[in-house]
Chain A
Amino acid sequence: MKKLKMKKVGVSSLLAGLVLVLLAGDVLAHGERAQLASMRMRTVHWFDTKVEPLNVKVGDVVTVTGKLVTSEWWPQQLASIEDTVYLNIGVPGPTFLRLHSEVNGVPMMRSTAFPLGKVYEYKTVMRARIAGRYHVHPILNVKDSGSLVDKGTWLEVAESDSTAPFTNEVTTLLGDTIDLETYGLGAVYTWHLIWLAIGLAYILYWLLRKELFIPRFLRIRHLGQDRANEIITKKDFVAGGLFFTLTLATILGGYLWAENKYPITIPLQTGKVEVTPIEVPTGDLEVVVDSASYALAGRSLSMRLKVTNHGDSPLRISEFLTANIRFLNPKVTESEIYPGEEMVAKEGLTVSVNVIEPGKTVEVELVASDALWEQYRMTGMINDPDSRFAGLVFYYDDNGERFYQEVGGSILPTFF
């Protein structure tokens, strides 16, 4: 009876496991929602991210461009981007080849450092390698902080029309053109096979004998440790000498062969590069946060701002950007939404004063409200160790020119 029960439990567990495996979907994103809300709001503000084109074939080139601002409200408990950062791209492994990447025109093969409160323009050029549907994210890997991920854009990669295998050819400084997909594999396979053969020969020499573990154990116990070496025969000694010599000779031979085949080699290269922040036109709006609150039930962030227009053109607040979510003011139509762009609340921003006239200081209430707060787990702000927020306020002048200013400060939750 007990056995039958156990059998039933076993079969049920197996079936449950099978169902789970069959139901499991593909992993399609990079867990950006799992990051702390404050980490997403107060580290890097990504904007104008464009992935072009969105439908390609294997072998085609894809370009990812955009801008980012390093937040002046960077959390103190997080290692700063001012130390070491690397521009990366979030794709599922090497489904793309990275051909080129740059920040403010500086090639980004290596790591760099970004001061806070500056703006950077980045560009990554890739070649599609494996067919599939991918969520492409620009990423900054910050040393000791982890990955800071921009929102993703879906990209379709179809199989190439050509049936030829994918190649990745480069020309070395010695003038040879090589295919990195298969480069050097002949020597890798050959030398590994040689070593496997020698290793197996040595092991088989010892294992293929009449007396192995138990008989040898009994003999050693009988002889005692002082005389145990007697079970090593002269033949074993000679074989050991031969294997020792053969191994040393093969190592030396392999080394000399490689030195002869590749006479010019260099060590692995590393180092940091310096990137100068770009100058962007500073707008005439001065924004000071008086207070900010977050309504847990209402999925909205409200800010009371004191706004002064120091210029001579009327200004209109068009957008609030935080944690990669764009809250657009529907009354300002200049804001552009890029093809495939996600995390945009088209009517998510309410501004109490539509036009800030030149020379005026007004109090403005900004309400950023949308289900995206919930969808992107921003409600987790209540669990943050440092309840502060930051974001970019975008505004336009009469000429349609866009400016931005970073705002931030303490934020209080409202529960009812």
Chain B
Amino acid sequence: MSETPTSELTEVEVKSRLLDMKSLDNPKAMKLYRRFDGIIILVLFMFLILGIQIHFTLTAGDWDYWIDWRDRRWWPLVAPFSLLLFIGPFAYGFWARVRLPIAATVITLLLCAVSWLSRYLNFYEFTHFPMSFVFPSTYIGLGILLDCALLITRSLLASALIGGGLFGALVWPLNWSFMAASKVPVELNGTLLSVADLMGYQYIRTTTPEYLRIIEESTLRTFGGSVTPLTAVFSALCGMVIYGIFLWVGSRINRLDIYTKRIV
């Protein structure tokens, strides 16, 4: 974060900052600050809820819409990749400006809320898909881990390594608690299917044919059937890198305030 060293401040600026600090002991000023905080919360709420919904829909949409898209290899990579690149800049801003380690939790929480709203209204009420086929995934636990890693280590770099890694690695176990049921085997016309595959076949999607799904397409074939742990390790590595890169992007964005000051 760019910050003018105290030694470079003018006398007026130093006095102004001291007055700002004194205002924190003034109940009237604090009341005003709380009102401003309320406005900030409202603006952030609107911006983040719309932002994450549009961003996640564009980058990971179908993976989160349908349970027959959430495979062991691509979904645990695509989802954290998409989320971390959105969270990174906000996490940096919240930490650098106000030392609030809440960006990841807020964003994943809002994504979960807006996803439920969308699935219920658009998918269930409007287009008649059963909720058992279109329920959203959850990433709230990953958001908390990312924020807490920052809070405990008080270091953005360490949080990228620990939090970013956990964010990537734990997508599958976090969601397995309510997704396992959809992977129970069934049979149709002599073909083995999971319940999710069967639902994808039975609940007709005219423009989402079966071949659009990307199921376990990759070259990670070593270690036999250990697809899930292998993907978790790879996703953890990706999480660290992506989160690190987008924290850096956040730091660049935060430096833009020098241009504001110049204009003023």
Q: Which A residues form the contact surface with B (CB < 8 A)?
A: 30, 84, 86, 88-100, 107, 109-111, 126, 129-130, 139, 141, 143, 147, 168, 170-174, 176, 178, 180-185, 187-188, 190-192, 195-196, 198-200, 202-203, 206-207, 210-222, 224-225, 228-229, 231-232, 236-237, 240-241, 243-244, 247-248, 250-252, 254-255, 257-259, 261-262, 264-270
Contact = CB atoms under 8 A, between A and B. Distances in A.
Secondary structure call for the B interface: helix
A203 B204 contact: no
A91 B173 CA distance: 36
B130 A257 contact: no
B63 to A, nearest CB: 12
Contacts of A257: 177
A143 B202 contact: no
Nearest to A195: B140
Contacts of B106: 203
A191 B186 contact: no
11 contacts: A174-B185, A182-B131, A184-B182, A214-B40, A215-B30, A224-B5, A251-B170, A255-B176, A267-B216, A268-B183, A269-B193
Contacts of A184: 132, 178, 181-182
A244 B148 contact: yes
Given A90-B206, A195-B141, A266 B173 contact: no
The 10 A-B pairs of least Cβ separation, nearest first, read A254-B177, A184-B181, A240-B151, A141-B209, A265-B183, A86-B209, A107-B189, A244-B148, A258-B180, A94-B203
A191 B173 contact: no
Contacts of A96: 204
Interface stretch (B54-62, B84-92, B95-103, B234-242): B95-103
A184 B195 CA distance: 11
B205 to A, nearest CB: 7
Given A218-B20, A240-B152, 8 more contacts: A93-B128, A173-B186, A182-B130, A215-B33, A266-B192, A267-B227, A270-B197, A270-B215
B213 A265 contact: no
Interface string B1-35: 10101100000000001001101100000100110
B207 A195 contact: no
B252 interface: no
A95 B105 CA distance: 37
B222 interface: no
Contacts of B174: 251, 254-255
Contacts of B190: 107
Nearest to B106: A203
A80 to B, nearest CB: 14
Contacts of A173: 184-187, 192
Interface of B: 1, 3, 5-6, 17, 20-21, 23-24, 30, 33-34, 36-37, 40-41, 68, 70-72, 96-102, 105-106, 108-109, 112-113, 116, 127-133, 135-136, 138, 140-141, 143-145, 147-149, 151-152, 154, 170, 173-174, 176-199, 201-207, 209-211, 213, 215-216, 227
A100 B202 CA distance: 8
Contacts of B183: 262, 265-268
B184 A264 contact: yes
Contacts of B102: 202-203, 206-207
A84 B210 CA distance: 10
A90 B68 CA distance: 20
A91 B206 contact: yes
Contacts of B180: 258-259, 261-262, 265
A89 B149 CA distance: 49
Given A109-B210, A147-B206, A207 B185 contact: no
A96 B201 CA distance: 11
A289 to B, nearest CB: 34
A187 B178 contact: yes
A84 to B, nearest CB: 5
B202 A188 contact: no
Contact of A268 (B5, B113, B213): B213
B207 A141 contact: yes
Contacts of A266: 183-185, 192, 194
Given A93-B205, A216-B98, A265-B180, A225 B196 contact: no
**Which of B34, B132, B144 neighbours the largest number of chain A CB atoms within 10 Å of its CB?**
B144
A170 B204 CA distance: 17
A196 B140 contact: yes
Nearest to A185: B132
Contact of B144 (A98, A126, A168, A202): A202
Contacts of B138: 191-192, 195
Contacts of B23: 218
B207 to A, nearest CB: 6
Contact of B184 (A100, A172, A212, A217): A172
Contact of A147 (B21, B141, B186, B207): B207
A111 B211 contact: yes
A222 B15 CA distance: 11
A240 B148 contact: yes
